[in-house]
Amino acid sequence: MRKRCAICRARAGKREPDKVEIMIELIEDRLGHRLVGAVEAAKIALSDVQETQFQFAVRAAGGNHHGDQ
């Protein structure tokens, strides 16, 4: 219940609404573990190169997906 209240406050603040909505989607879709895995893969890639591409798709409002977030 506490998470829900924090999410509602963040949504109400609307300082960066796109970022808030993406975070809400991550929580609602339970994508935290997958996100950590994607970050770890990027970190491993960076041990051999100076740059890497990070891709992690989340749904957008209306069911579309955001990539390269």
Residue-wise pLDDT for 17-52, tens only, equals: 788 788 888 888 899 999 999 999 999 999 999 999
Of residues 3 and 8, more confidently modeled: 8
Give Cα 15 distance to the centre of its chain.
Answer: 17
Report how far residue 59's alpha carbon sits from residue 11's, in angstroms, rounded to the nearest whole number.
17
Residue with tokens 């890639």: 45
Mean pLDDT in residue range 50-62: 80
Considering its fold, how many domains does the chain have in total? 1
| Structural domain span for residue 50 | 2-66
pLDDT over threshold 60, residue 64: no
Size of the chain in residues: 69
